[in-house]
Amino acid sequence: MTGLLLGRARAQWQLLAVLVAIVSLGATLLGTCALLVTRTADRALEVAASRSTAEDAQVTAYNVTVLGADAAGVAADTRDLLTSSLAPFEVRTDGRASSVLRALSKDSAGYLSAVQDLPASAELATGRWPSAPGEGVVLETTARQLGVTTGSRVRLGPELSRDPAPALTVTIVGVVRPLVGTGWDRDPLAGAGFDPAYRDTSSLRDSRAYGPFLVGWDDLLATGSTLDRLEITAVPDLSAPRLADLDAVTANVRTADRRLARVLGERVRIERVASQLPSVLQSSRHQQQVTNAAVLAVAVLGAVLTATALSLAGRLTTDLRAAESALLSSFGAGRGQLAGVAAIEAAALALLATALAIPASSLLHTALTHLPPLGGAGLASAPTITAAQVLTIAAGAAALAVMLIVSGLRAAPATDERTRRDLLARSGADILLVALAAGGWWQLRAQPTGDAGGPDVVRVLAPALLLIAGAALALRLAPPALALADRLARRANSLPLPLAAFEAARRPQATAAGLLVTLACASATFGIALDATWERSQRDQAALAVGTDLTLALTQPPTAGQGAAVAAATGGTVSPAVDRGVAVGQWLGGAGAAPRLVAVDTDRAGALLRGRLDNGRTWAQVGAKLAAPAGAEGLPLTGTPTLTGTASSGAHLSVTPELLLEDATGLRTTCATAPVTLDARPHRLGACVPPSGVRVIAVAVPVTGDAISWDATATSDIVITLTIPGTTPASAKWTATSAAPSAEQLTDPAVTTGRSGLRMTGTVQLGGPPEAARTLVATAFEDPGPVPVAVSAGFAHDLGVRVGGRLDLTIGLTAVPITVADLVPAVPSAPGGAALLADLDTLSRALAVRGDLGSPVDAWWVGDPVHTELTGLHLGTAVTRAGETDRLTAGPVPAGLPAVLRLLVPAAALLLLAGVLLHVTCDLQARALEVARLRGLGMTRREIRSTLLGQHMVVLLPLWAAGAAVGALSTWIVAPLLVRSETGAAPVPDVVPMWPWPAQAGLLTALLAAALIAVTSVVLVQSRRADAAHLRVAS
Amino acid sequence: MTLLTVRKITRTFGEKETAVHALQDVSFDVEAGTMVALVGRSGSGKTTLLNVIGGLDRPDTGTVHVDGVEVTALDEDGLSLLRREKVSYVFQTFGLIPVLSAAENVGAPLRLARTPAAERERRVALLLDLVGLGDHAGQRPGELSGGQQQRVAIARALAASPRLLIADEPTGQLDADTGRSVMALLRGVVESEGVTALISTHDPIMMALADRVIRINDGRITE
Ligand SMILES: Nc1ncnc2c1ncn2[C@@H]1O[C@H](COP(=O)(O)OP(=O)(O)OP(=O)(O)O)[C@@H](O)[C@H]1O
Ligand SMILES: [Mg+2]
């Protein structure tokens, strides 16, 4: 037996080499995919974790109300708990604590605070940092309000709580400015330094609060002060994490809250541990599963291709060995014995292929991780061999070897009976395949999120099923087409090409070869198209999610002149922007998400807004439907304005004027001033010292005073003159209104512009509802009426509105009427949900005429920026579309998909070529005698060549085209369902199937050229060999 | 008129010790319209000689003229043309194209000659009738008996109206009775089509049917 095997191996080594090569190729592909979904996937999670921001990684414990005696203990225990929860990572902890209020004077209070790394969250204006007990620094605003400077000593009286700690004195050694984005939002007064009416958890009534008085951390804990808040933040160093540690930390952080409660017990009133880390890691894992499903789908496709190539090889092997088998049978070797020989041979083959595929897949994987996109994502790795990889390869090689035996056994000599049975079986298999593919497709459509625990089976199998079913159906079209060619050939006069057609049409078709060609062509084109579709979708998602090229989310309201700074720093089209949740009438939004209002300067929508629109519309077209009619001219403001007012009938009234200012970039800011008495004397509005280029475009004067009371019956005519330095005679028409609520409490509002400013008049009803606004509003523009908005498809669906519909939008506390001017699939920066897009100018006017002069602006949007590095501005966090695109297409977690697709295409091409070569070689070898006979008939070599070439091309060409068609069809049907967002949900905007023509044309041409070269070279060799020598061989 | 002239043909296979002198100084002439039987033991050089005459093989020395054309001086294309127009073969193993029906096999040489379809069909029908297979025109070689296949092969050999028909043991694979009827057929077509036939055979009946018998022994003519 072994003698036979070895002898045969020596004689047929070329054939065996081809078989080993095919099995090795398949096993290598599987092994590489195994490494991608295990090693690289794990590594990707680690890299993603290492790239997480401190904000995402940090764990913060909040403790509320800690008695002075417990403070140090609670701080230490909290710190220990956080540090141990984050073990084994290096942890940097920070603390921030504030005491309860202490009396400063009769009706004012102050509080102590400590920030552990104070120089990192504030900068010194004057003086130095506190270094000894009893030393402290204050914010600039506090210092100004209290009139303290370095060297001042401030006495903080006993605490206002029930169990007060004694008074103490703080020596001010410095004045500081808070730095943006360093946690001042969690200061009791949010870093404002002063609040006219504040109460904390310990106080019973509002008082004027000043603070913080920033002392040393240990100093604060030692004073015995009751801590209103004690907050410890731990930031793990995730620069080189191991996945197992990340998982352990996730679990620990999840339970940290409960454990902290147990550790601290009664020592604190409330404690809570908050962290984004578990959800950030979880969403990475989720995204990883989405990627893995796609990688596995490609692995299945590769395996199917290999199996097809192998079944072809198996059939050819059996054909070649038919005579030998018959001889062995005639010597009395049983079927079982023959199968045994085949099994031993297959086992040897599988072993050899496994031995080759293990190093090959390791090397291929390494090469792949060094190329983009994996290399760029920081996933480059040295060659490794893992258990999962070896097991996959061994199992894959074994399965393929079994396939080889089975396909060999099946290919017994063809009889009519057998062909009919085969045909029936094939029809059954085709129907089953189509049914399975349809089922898979339906499942994909019905369950777009695929929220299963592991990689979704449907998602993994659907592409392969669809491609096989398509290829099988396409093959069914081949016989009728060839029959047609046969009919045409019968009528022709010549021999070479008609003979080619006869040969192609009448020889029993090599199903395996046809399937391989079609499937390989379909897989390769599908691979390229899926790659392009996926990439395009990620780009679209990034564009819509960011909404523009660069957003700068502000941590504090913008100040006049900021637009110029942002424009200078970015060099792009800059617009102030609003992106916030709103209420529409009574509706607060579905599924826990408020409808989002996005407002920018829609005059420049084309340059600003990004995200795919439908029907070839552009954002400029949408913006044109929303843009404000004309700019508001307003009054230039070059110095400090003064306000003079009188109230008739001797009423004691005062006003708290607010000015709406617009700078050169269109940014509107408000300046609110202290109350001004209407006493006929001029009052300088000191808070409104403008930067240059600012214009006043609206003024609101709410009237208050002792004279106003519920039961008063009198009215008072007020006259208010706002002198604005630098005002030239303005032709601009101003409009005056009385703001809601109870607008009737201020009647006859009027405004006139004069040489020196504005003169506003009105009549105040001193009686009536106390909550009435009694606000006289003068604007440099008219009420814009309902604000035109473009609403998202989600919004239109949820509220059932159409173009022309009218609604009320509640922004903050002000209701603004809107009218639906357009429908868009999604609003930039608010993908998927209910959202509205409005013009910021119009929106701001609508708010202003309703007396709401507060700026709604919370971000800067920049189109086509030249520079994107804005940390130097200290305004907030910048997000760029390019960065987001990069994260979605080339981030460590998603990069596996394009990488594996880049593997599929060459693998499919190689298998196709191997299959064609194998098929043509075997076919021509088997027909050497026939070729010699044709020579005998007087056919020239050239004629024989064209017959052979024509015969193979007439089969190959349609299959090649059918493969491309199946690939295209699959792209349209299934690629959009395979592309997912990073959460695994259906992407927004919808996925557009992409068919990159240049790449596809290149690929198809290359495949065809390679096949052509392969066929031609075999034909050339074969036709040269055909000579008289063959004629002596008996058939 | 002499149709075939063979002069001083030598053909040796292999070199030195292993050299086989398949043909040694073979010369003879064949008159047009005769049926010549080539007879000799197995290995005597019959096939080699027929191959050389038909241009499927080249001699080491010597010349062959068929119908005035020097076969031994022709290039590849010339040989192809010769086979299309002047010389045709009937092989021991029939040599039919498996995917073509009997009629299409017979029509193949006519297609090579680019005969118009209608004329081709007429001639094919005529030839199939001649060999007695008019009712089997649509059958493929696999569906015909050995004798029937050889009749088809003969019809095909006659299709392009060759001057010389070469048949290498045309009855070798057939039983005696069938072989005899094929021989009779050959004899008949030589008369009716006016071709010259050169037929190698072991069959005494064939020798009896032939106009002339050429004997070959160890590569030499012993007539
Ligand atoms: N291609 C070849 N290479 C080597 N020797 C050859 C070759 N062809 C023929 N011979 C040898 O030349 C001699 C003549 O062979 P040939 O086939 O012509 O004999 P034959 O008379 O046709 O025999 P048979 O009646 O068995 O067909 C034989 O000895 C044979 O071995
Ligand atoms: Mg012979």
Q: Which string of DSSP letters, residue by residue, matches A1007-1030?
A: HHHHHHHHHHHHHHHHHHH-SHHH
For residue B211, being part of any structural domain is answered with yes
A769 vs A995: which has the higher pLDDT: A995
A719 vs A731: which has the higher pLDDT: A719
pLDDT tier at A310, thresholds 50, 70, 90: confident
**Tell me, what's the pLDDT at A12?**
77
pLDDT tier at A920, thresholds 50, 70, 90: confident
* A494: nearest CB among B81, B100, B111: B111
**Tell me, what's the pLDDT at B101?**
93
pLDDT tier at A451, thresholds 50, 70, 90: low
How many Å apart are CA A405 and CA A408, to the nearest integer?
5
How many Å apart are CA A905 and CA A960, to the nearest integer?
15
**Tell me, what's the pLDDT at A448?**
55
How many Å apart are CA A366 and CA A385, to the nearest integer?
11
DSSP A150: T
Same domain, B6 and B64: yes
- CB of B93 less than 8 A from some CB of A: yes
Judged by CB atoms closer than 8 Å, whether chains meet at A1031 and B56 is answered as: yes
Q: Is the pLDDT assigned to residue A411 strictly greater than 70?
A: no
**Tell me, what's the pLDDT at A414?**
47
Q: Which of B20, B24, B26 to mutate to test the pocket of ligand 1 (most atoms within 8 A of CB)?
A: B20
A939-984 pLDDT, tens digit per residue, is 888 888 888 888 888 888 888 999 999 999 999 998 888 888 887 7
> Other CB atoms closer than 10 Å to residue A823's CB: what's the count?
16
Annotated domain spans of chain A: 2-47+282-542+889-1034, 53-237, 578-630+786-856, 635-779
Judged by CB atoms closer than 8 Å, whether chains meet at A502 and B100 is answered as: yes
Nearest residue (by CA) to ligand 1, atom 18, is: B45
How many Å apart are CA A66 and CA A268, to the nearest integer?
5
For residue B202, being part of any structural domain is answered with yes
Our count of domains for chain B comes to 2
Q: Which ligand is the nearest neighbour of the Cα of B201?
A: 1
Where in the sequence is the domain holding B128, given as residue range(s)? 87-161
| H helix or E strand, kind and range, residue A286 | helix A277-320
Residue A405 three-state SS: helix
For residue B170, being part of any structural domain is answered with no
* B108: nearest CB among A495, A507, A1027: A495
How many Å apart are CA B81 and CA A55, to the nearest integer?
88
What is the nearest CA distance from B92 to chain A, expressed in angstroms?
8
How many Å apart are CA A865 and CA A133, to the nearest integer?
49
Judged by CB atoms closer than 8 Å, whether chains meet at A1035 and B115 is answered as: no
DSSP A39: I
A-B contacts at Cβ under 8 angstroms: 76
Residue B10 three-state SS: strand
Residues in A closer than 8 angstroms to B95, CB to CB, are 933, 936, 1031
Asked if A172 and A72 count as a contact pair (C-beta separation under 8 A), the reply is no
How many Å apart are CA A578 and CA A563, to the nearest integer?
14
Residues in A closer than 8 angstroms to B58, CB to CB, are none
Atom of ligand 1 nearest to the CA of B40: 21
Same domain, B50 and B25: yes
**Which residues of chain A have a Cβ shorter than 8 Å from any chain B Cβ?**
491-495, 498-499, 502-503, 506-507, 930, 933-941, 943, 1027-1028, 1031-1032, 1034-1035
Q: Is the pLDDT assigned to residue A684 strictly greater than 60?
A: yes
**Tell me, what's the pLDDT at A1030?**
56
Q: What percent of chain A has pLDDT over 90?
A: 28
Residues in B closer than 8 angstroms to A943, CB to CB, are 80, 112
Residue A862 three-state SS: strand
Residues in A closer than 8 angstroms to B81, CB to CB, are 938
- Judged by average pLDDT, the poorest of A305-319, A699-713, A891-905, A1015-1029 is A1015-1029
Q: Is the pLDDT assigned to residue A343 strictly greater than 80?
A: yes
pLDDT tier at A1034, thresholds 50, 70, 90: very low
The tokens of A201 are what?
A: 């958890």
**Tell me, what's the pLDDT at A942?**
87
pTM tops 0.90, yes or no: no
A85-103 pLDDT, tens digit per residue, is 998 899 999 999 999 888 8
How many Å apart are CA B166 and CA A599, to the nearest integer?
96
Residues in A closer than 8 angstroms to B85, CB to CB, are 938
pLDDT tier at A592, thresholds 50, 70, 90: low
Cα-Cα-Cα-Cα torsion A416, A422, A424, A430, nearest 10 degrees, comes to -150
Nearest residue (by CA) to ligand 1, atom 5, is: B13
A285-303 pLDDT, tens digit per residue, is 888 888 888 889 888 999 9
What is the nearest CA distance from A323 to chain B, expressed in angstroms?
18
What residues are paired with A878 via a beta bridge?
A552
- What CATH number is given to the structural domain containing B61? 3.40.50.300
Judged by CB atoms closer than 8 Å, whether chains meet at A934 and B56 is answered as: no
For residue B183, being part of any structural domain is answered with no
A523-552 pLDDT, tens digit per residue, is 999 999 999 999 999 999 999 999 999 999
Average pLDDT, chain A: 85
- CB of B84 less than 8 A from some CB of A: yes
A727-778 pLDDT, tens digit per residue, is 665 566 888 998 877 888 888 888 888 777 888 999 888 887 777 888 999 9
pLDDT tier at A378, thresholds 50, 70, 90: confident
What is the nearest CA distance from B212 to chain A, expressed in angstroms?
25
* Lining residues, ligand 1, CB within 6 Å: A 1029; B 13-14, 20, 22, 40, 42-48
Q: Is the pLDDT assigned to residue A418 strictly greater than 60?
A: no
Ligand 1 centroid vs A348 CA: distance in angstroms? 42
Ligand 1 centroid vs B184 CA: distance in angstroms? 27
pLDDT tier at A83, thresholds 50, 70, 90: very high
How many Å apart are CA B147 and CA A1027, to the nearest integer?
26
Buried b (16+ CB within 10 A) or exposed e, B180-197: bbbbebbbebbeebebbb
CA nearest B107 in A: which residue? Answer: A495
For residue B72, being part of any structural domain is answered with yes
Q: Among B96, B212, B98, which residue's Cα sits nearest to residue B159? A: B96
Place of tokens 């995402």: A56
CA nearest A494 in B: which residue? Answer: B111
Cis peptide before A993 (omega within 30 of 0): no
CA nearest B121 in A: which residue? Answer: A491
How many Å apart are CA A701 and CA A683, to the nearest integer?
14
Ligand 1 centroid vs A94 CA: distance in angstroms? 101
Nearest residue (by CA) to ligand 1, atom 3, is: B13
Asked if B39 and B50 count as a contact pair (C-beta separation under 8 A), the reply is no
Ligand 2 centroid vs B27 CA: distance in angstroms? 19
Query: What's CA A14's distance to the chain center, in Å?
Result: 51
Chain A neighbours among B 39-58 (CB < 8 Å)? 47, 51, 54, 56-57
Same domain, B72 and B94: no
For residue B169, being part of any structural domain is answered with no
Distances (CA, A) of A282 to A278, A287, A374, A982, A987: 6, 9, 21, 12, 19
Q: Among A185, A384, A160, A298, which residue's Cα sits nearest to residue A904? A: A298
Helix axis angle for B146-159 and B102-112, nearest 10°, is: 20
Q: Is the pLDDT assigned to residue A225 strictly greater than 70?
A: yes
Buried b (16+ CB within 10 A) or exposed e, A136-152: bbbbebbbebbebebee
Place of tokens 């022994």: B217
DSSP A73: H
Q: How many CA atoms lie within 13 A of A864 on its CB side?
A: 7
How many Å apart are CA A598 and CA A584, to the nearest integer?
14
> E strands along A825-951, which residues?
835-839, 859-863, 876-880
For residue B171, being part of any structural domain is answered with no
The residues, ordered by sequence, that sit 6+ positions from A391 with a Cβ below 8 Å of its Cβ are A34
Residues in B closer than 8 angstroms to A936, CB to CB, are 54, 56, 83, 89, 91, 95
Q: Which ligand is the nearest neighbour of the Cα of B40?
A: 1
Tell me what the mean pLDDT of segment A267-276 comes to. Answer: 89
How many Å apart are CA A312 and CA A318, to the nearest integer?
10
Ligand 1 centroid vs B48 CA: distance in angstroms? 6
- CB of B142 less than 8 A from some CB of A: no
B185-204 pLDDT, tens digit per residue, is 888 888 888 899 999 988 77
pLDDT tier at B102, thresholds 50, 70, 90: very high
Beta-strand pair A596-600/A573-581: antiparallel
Beta-strand pair A757-765/A715-723: antiparallel
The tokens of A776 are what?
A: 């006289």
CA-based torsion, A526, A530, A536, A537: positive or negative: positive
Cis peptide before A212 (omega within 30 of 0): yes
What residues are paired with A696 via a beta bridge?
A635, A661
Same domain, B71 and B105: no
For residue B178, being part of any structural domain is answered with no
Residue A631 three-state SS: coil
* A1028: nearest CB among B57, B85, B108: B57
The tokens of A647 are what?
A: 């109230």
Ligand 1 centroid vs B65 CA: distance in angstroms? 23
Nearest residue (by CA) to ligand 1, atom 28, is: B43
Nearest residue (by CA) to ligand 1, atom 24, is: B42
